[in-house]
Structure 1
Amino acid sequence: MFNLKVLITFICLISICCSFVSSQNILSSQNISSRDILSQNTSQNQDISTQDISFIYEEPINGLKFYNTYTFGLEGSFLIWMILEDEDPACILPHLHLRLINKTGKIKYMDFNYTLPAEAICPFNMEILPLAYNHIMIVYIKSNNGIKGKYGKIINYSNESINEIYLGNANGSVRFSISGKELISIEKPDKEGIAIWRLFSISDITRGKVIEHKNVEFHAPNLLSYTLVDSLSFSLTDGGFGFMYILKYDETKGSSVMRDPNLQYWRVYTSFLRVGADSPMAPFLVYQTTKKLNNLTIKLCTVTYNAEGYVCIMALNNTIINKKNNKSQTEVNYYQLRFLSTGALVRLNIVSNPTNNTNID
């Protein structure tokens, strides 16, 4: 079914910005370059500085297929996630195959044979979080007495499963701080724009202990006629966490509006949860559209290379009508939104799409 060898040429990216760079799709090619993966995620971000360490990785297990990659920030290590596909293309077989490669080329093989929850493998729905102290966490959905929740399995580099912890509701997201000493689990905001967040300390993770020491709320801006559409979390330079809200304004009256296929104005707000703070800052406006758009999405947010602020990749979806033939077409443009920790906007610049894809994941 698969070739005996999977060759992966990769480049270790020595940058804080690359901590969150990963490919999001199963790649069918047997020769995979992490330079290509980076270009799909950062789109020629000139703030990223790289040191190239290139060599070939040969997968020894027949049938494994490349799925995803993770970098370990300034450490320079590189994690490759290999999978065995099921007959159902949306599923995988219930085993983990990880390859940890440091910047000298030394490879640590981690093949885990314990069974993963059915909800995690079919459809395939798992994440990997590289942690401190030579540990990783597998994040997945699992049912407990009929209620789905998000759980994390702590694993060390010796292929040992240390512990499993409850992280929150199934609809939440989980990420680790830049310091690698804390985790945050943030649930999707409810209809009122309230998102529950749980902050965990992993300072004693070598013994499998993850301690929840905060449980508070993020509140979306309460703006008349604006609706919360989406949200996104990201890590702060001080080890805290940021939370971004995307809101739209709905206009339903007026004949001019009915002729315009782009029905919403959009606003983007950000809130910071600083290290040691008991509650997040009040949300502040970092961007608003100057014209109506179909949609606005944030692909990712991360720290800039010089750690002076943050950069987000933003997609603006717009419908354009040709007045000559009255035909319409959809246009998607990508932008880098840069702002400081104070909330001050640095600049907004368009990003070229080097892969010529309609989507940048």
Structure 2
Amino acid sequence: KKYSIETTDYEVGQDNIQKWGFDIHNPVFGTSAVLIIVTLISLLLVGPTTALNSLNSLKNGIIEQFDSFFMWATNFFLLFAFVLILSPLGRIRIGGKDAKSEHSTLSWIAMLFAAGMGIGLLFWGVAEPVAYFTDWYGTPLNVEAYSEEAKAMALGATMFHWGLHGWSIYAIVALSLAFFAYNKGLPLSIRSTFYPIFGDRAWGWLGHTIDILAVLATLFGLATSLGLGAQQATSGFNHVFGLEGDIGTQLTIITLVTFIASLSVMRGIDGGVKVLSNINMIAAFILLVFVTIVGWNSVLPSLWATISGYATNVIELSNPHGREDSVWMHGWTVFYW
């Protein structure tokens, strides 16, 4: 079929080939693969220490120079999402007026939760408020560590990072992809969201470049999450079973997770991603019940402290200007965004 946006005559799938159970776009796949391999080889050639120092310098430079951009961009995403919800645009049905859901609400929430939070929440849901409360890397808004104010602030700042602001980033990208793919008939790729701006040039090398950048950003973003997750899992194994596993254990975990993820993608949403997400949600619910029962006397007061700490400090935490806690803001909020 042809795309439904009036001016385009781009044929669906004309550049794609079927390989290994995947639908591969030749220019994007090949160029991305070469750039990834060249990057990895370059990092290996310069040595781990040199590569680490170079990447840290690059990361810190980006965080310091573009802190306001990241902060205000995320604020804008959140406000824009609320505008969409409250405006007539919020009544647009993804897939068209007669579209029906392919998955149950519970399965959909499970997939969103697993993809959006993943392993990070299990670790940082505990480590993050503890770090803020004890001044491990500064405290939010420079409150006094170990104080009652620090307790509420630590819980509220954690909710700030894992709550509406973070999900608004996901929401805007997801809505863009979903609208142009399922309402306008364009390919499910980032380039499609730029079609109203670039027109048919989105199907040429300008569009290829956009998708290649998206692939690289996604891959190295996932590499960060997977690397941190492998470290966390290894530390857990070492603590519980008295092991001394290090890089070898981490590589084993990364290989196993990558294999399971690839298998789930090949099996598709229904046979892979949804199944894993539902299992993950059941395990998370069991953990939630266990923690609630064991720590009942702490759960309710902490819940109120979290809500009040978030509500009273979200405006200040969202504002990058005039902050005296720039070290904390750069190391946590800007890094996250």
Indicate whether the TM-score tops 0.5. Answer: no
Larger relative CO (CA 8 A, sep 6+): 1 or 2? 2
Higher helix share: 2
TM-score where L is the length of structure 1: 0.19
TM-score where L is the length of structure 2: 0.20
Higher strand share: 1
